[in-house]
Amino acid sequence: MDVKSNPTSQLQQSPIHLLHRVGQCASDIFSEEVRTGDLTPRQYAVLLTVSQNEGLSQTDLVERTGIDRSTLADIIRRMLKKGFVHRRRTKEDARAYAVRLTSDGWDALRRAEPAAIHADERILSALDPAQRNAFLLSLSAIVDAIESQETA
C-alpha cells in the first residue's frame, strides 16, 4: 500500500507523529489537572528537579531534564519573574548560575504535585496495568539510546 492511497495509516505507524500527539495530550491533561495556570509541564519538571537537587547549574538542569538550553533559560527567566526560583553565580564557575527554589517555588511545587501525579495516572490509565511499566521502560530506553547516539 503506498502513501497516496492511505496517508493516515502511515501517520499511525510513525513514532514521531504518535509521540508528538501523546505529548500534546499529556500537556492538555497536565493543564486540566493543575488548573492554576501557574505552571507548564516543563516548569513543573524544572521545579521538581531543582527541589531534589538544590543548587544545580542551568547546564546540569539541561542534562537532567532534557530541555534544550535556550528553552531552559527562558523557563528560568519566567520562573524568576514569578518568584519561584532564584539563581546565583556558582563558586566553581563565575559564568554559571546555581538555581534554588524560593518559598513561593516550594509552595507552587507542593500545590502542583498532587495534580501532576494525577495527570500521570490519567495518562497511564489508557494502558492495562500490566503494560504500564513496560511502556515507561520503553520510553526510557528510547531516550537513553538516542542520547547515547548524540554523545558518541
| The pLDDT of residue 10 is above 80 | yes
For residue 3, give every residue at least 6 positions away whose Cβ sits within 8 Å of its Cβ, in sequence order, or none.
10
Distances (CA, A) of 62 to 46, 78, 81: 9, 16, 20
| The pLDDT of residue 32 is above 50 | yes
42 assigned to some structural domain = yes
The residue assigned the cell 516548569 is: 43
The residue assigned the cell 553565580 is: 89
| The pLDDT of residue 5 is above 70 | no
HSE-CB at 79 with a 13 A cutoff on CA atoms is 33
**pTM of the predicted model as reported, rounded to 2 decimal places:** 0.83
Summarize the confidence of residues 118-122 as an average pLDDT.
96
- Name the average pLDDT for the chain: 90
- For the segment 38-95, what is each residue's pLDDT rounded down to a tens digit? 789 999 999 999 999 988 999 899 999 999 999 999 999 999 999 999 998 877 777 7
What total of structural domains would you count in the chain?
1
| The pLDDT of residue 35 is above 70 | yes
1 assigned to some structural domain = no
Strand order in the sheet with 97-101: 56-57, 97-101, 85-89
Which CATH number belongs to the domain containing residue 143 in this structure? 1.10.10.10
Summarize the confidence of residues 102-109 as an average pLDDT.
96
| The pLDDT of residue 36 is above 90 | no
Q: Which pLDDT score, from 0 to 100, does residue 2 have?
A: 54
Under DSSP, the state recorded for 142 is: H
The answer to whether the CB of 135 falls within 8 A of the CB of 92 is: no
Q: How confident is the model at residue 1 (pLDDT cuts 50, 70, 90)?
A: very low
Q: Which pLDDT score, from 0 to 100, does residue 3 have?
A: 52
> What is the residue range of 133's domain?
7-151
108 assigned to some structural domain = yes
CA distance 65 to 48: 10
Q: Which amino acid is at 41?
A: P
29 assigned to some structural domain = yes
2 assigned to some structural domain = no
